[in-house]
Structure 1
Amino acid sequence: MKRIDGTPPAAGSAVTVRGLVKHYGETKALDGVDLDVREGTVRGVLGPNGAGKTTLVRILSTLVTPDSGRAHVAGYDVVRQPRQLRRAIGLTGQYASVDEKLPGWENLYLIGRLLDLSRRDARARADELLERFSLTEAAKRPAATYSGGMRRRLDLAASMIGHPAVLYLDEPTTGLDPRTRNEVWDEVKRMVGDGVTVLLTTQYMEEAEQLASELTVVDRGKVIANGGIEELKARVGGRTLRVRPADPLQLRPLASHLDELGITGLANSTVDAERGAVLVPILSDEQLTAVVGAVAARGITVASVTTELPSLDEVFLSLTGHRAGAPQDPVPADAREEVAV
């Protein structure tokens, strides 16, 4: 394995990643990933299952060793300084990691003691976080009796025991109902307001829009786009015009015709053969009018024309030419043997 070199982190960045590569057998989970997260901000990492998001978090948490590349988090090298780094980070994954047999308070107290807090400090920190996350009344109840939202808040509280400088949220609202999801979002916003830097992985554009100030889009282990929410939407079109011809054989001729029009600022169209439509990113009503007029002038019978804001799936379709449907992140049986020590 290539050791991570001594290149210092970028100024003002809580997380700096350069050329990160990770293989699981013949599968390349990460393929030269570059990433920067500015201090005190939320960086959203968007991608489908199998894009490499969880593998990235595992590496940055020192749970898995990279094959090559370099990464610094909170000023620490993830390979050379894992013990120091673990004290500077918090991690909340897709599933609650607390012990369901223990009461909420004991979960937090135990984690505090594992982080070498004194008994007095661990008790005080547990009390403080239970109050902050509105769990004081349930402090003595086993976590197994908590609702999904309460368990997730307890998980977030657990990740904050050690006052982390950087918090990883790996698909934190997967499987939650809308109300519980909103509760989690509110707590994350509060933590960021306190100065915590957050790396958020998600499949949901709505979640990224709620929490992230900057986005990185990954697919099949590679970074395919970086930027703010509006910047990414503009890249694939502020809106998407979906034109569905009555005759599916007209899909590609229609797409070619639209690409040859030369309409100012109009991005290239994409054929969605599965749904029998041509997708055209548009930035203005003028472009919409021009496209519809061009379709009519071509004499193509249209079954429907609709406009919609780009979804995460359409961002991927536009940026990569395929839908976001890769397999799950590969997790080898011997993953525990690769933990950095």
Structure 2
Amino acid sequence: MTANKVRGPVIHVQGLTKSYKELQVLRGVDFDVARGSIFALLGSNGAGKTTAVRILSTLLKADAGTARVNGFDVATQAADVRKSISLTGQFAAVDEILSGRENLVLVARLRHLKDPGKVADDLLGRFSLTDAGARKVATYSGGMRRRLDIAMSLIGNPPVIFLDEPTTGLDPQARIEVWQAVRELAAQGTTVLLTTQYLDEAEQLADRIAILHEGRIIVNGTLTELKQLLPPAKVEYVEKQPTLEDVFLTLVGDNGKNGNGRNVGTNA
């Protein structure tokens, strides 16, 4: 089954649960991700974001529930799921001894692609790394390493990519560089599931945002739909729309224990 033949959401998650002994990490998670969109799974540390991604990428088995990626069941068709995805973790997985181009060529050869050099050069150009391609990765800035990491994950043209907190530890300029790379992925048809704890990142990038709190999705919708959950504040007769931060803190609470959310704008 190819990406073009998959109908409906590219990622479908229903009733996903996961516990570690007495600790319930996921407690009945449901969401869908449309083809070619950027879906942000937003939550505080410990909310269960990485656990959800590990299950979807077949690195971890759920206790209950179902999940399909690119039309394949993550539990019974794990090999097909792996062929359809790429996963970029919280820290760049690049070899600092090699140059940027050598990193890309190595991965292309491991995936048995024809003309690894051309694959590497195309990706260096796509991620604005051509001038730095011959340099050792040890000399790269944080943003350059992260862009190279994402470029490496795209070798083989996977239709779905998971980005688990891709801008953790990056400075503001590097974050903007990564954001632009993510936007370009979606513009070219790649489906992106992004986990983040940064409210501005979700606000900047996502077509849809789901807030994961204490193992549950407490709200799921577009940025506009989420903002409509709160009444606009009026200051000197000028209407002020609530920000995503206002929505998040109202639903989750400042101490992370006051959320009583609901889904809005759920995909059919």
Fold shared, TM-score > 0.5 on shorter chain: yes
Q: How does 1:207-286 map to 2 (within 5 A)?
A: 207-235=201-229, 237=230, 282-283=231-232, 285=234
Whether 1:168 and 2:100 are equivalent positions in the alignment is: no
Match of 2:56 in 1: 60
CA distance in 1, matches of 2:7, 2:241: 39
Q: Distance in 2 between matches of 1:152 and 1:100?
A: 12
Q: What is aligned with 2:70?
A: 74
**Do the aligned residues in 2 keep the contact of 1:76 with 1:84 (CA within 8 Å)?**
yes
2:148 is the counterpart of 1:159: no
Query: Which whole-Å CA distance do the structure 2 matches of 1:189 and 1:320 have between them?
Result: 28
Structure 2: runs of 5+ lacking an equivalent: 1-5, 258-268
Tell me, yes or no, if structure 1 residue 89 matches structure 2 residue 85: yes
Q: Which residue number in structure 2 is paired with residue 334 of structure 1?
A: none
**RMSD, matched Cα:** 2.1
Quote the residue 1:202 is aligned against. 196
TM-score normalised according to structure 1 size: 0.69
Structure 1 position 310, deviation (Å)? 3.8
**Contact 1:316–1:323 (CA under 8 A) maintained in structure 2:** no
Match of residue 100 from structure 2: 104
Q: CA deviation at 1:141?
A: 2.0
Q: Any conservation in 2 of the 1:149–1:176 contact (CA below 8 Å)?
A: yes
2:227–2:241 contact (8 Å) kept in structure 1: no
1:184 corresponds to: 178
Aligned length: 250
Cα pair 1:202 1:208 within 8 Å, conserved: yes
Q: Extract unaligned runs of 5+ from structure 1.
A: 1-9, 238-281, 291-306, 326-341
Distance between the aligned counterparts of 1:116 and 1:27, measured in 2?
42
| CA deviation profile, 1:272-331 (whole Å, cap 9, x unmatched) | xxxxxxxxxx3253xx789xxxxxxxxxxxxxxxx894453x434322445348xxxxxx
| Residue 132 (1) aligns with residue 81 (2) | no
CA distance in 1, matches of 2:11, 2:17: 16
Q: Secondary structure at the match of 1:161?
A: coil
Q: Contact (CA 8 Å) 1:87, 1:115: kept in 2 or not? A: no
SS of structure 2 residue aligned to 1:157 = helix
Q: Conserved in 2, the CA contact under 8 Å of 1:18 and 1:71?
A: yes
Amino acid at match of 1:197: T
Which AA in structure 1 matches 2:51? T
8 Å contact from structure 2 (residues 42, 198) kept in 1: yes
Quick check: 1:51 aligned with 2:47?
A: yes
2: CA distance, partners of 1:85 / 1:125: 23
Q: Is the 8 A contact 1:89 1:168 kept in 2?
A: yes
- Map residues 110-129 of structure 1 onto 2, 5 A cutoff: 110-118=106-114, 120=115, 122-129=116-123
* Cα shift readout 1:62-89 (whole Å, capped 9, x = no counterpart): 1111111111101111111222211211
Q: Match of 1:277? A: none
Letter in 2 for 1:226: N
State the match for 2:137 in structure 1.
143
Larger Rg computed on CA atoms: 1
Is the Cα contact below 8 Å between 1:316 and 1:322 reproduced in 2?
A: no
Question: In the superposition, relative to structure 1, how do residues 109 and 324 fare at CA in structure 2: closer, same or farther (>3 Å)?
Answer: farther
Could you tell me whether the CA contact under 8 Å between 2:227 and 2:244 is conserved in 1?
Answer: no
Q: Does 1:40 align with 2:51?
A: no
Paired residues of 1:205 and 1:311 also in contact (CA < 8 A): yes
Q: Secondary structure at the match of 1:206?
A: helix
TM-score by length of 2: 0.87
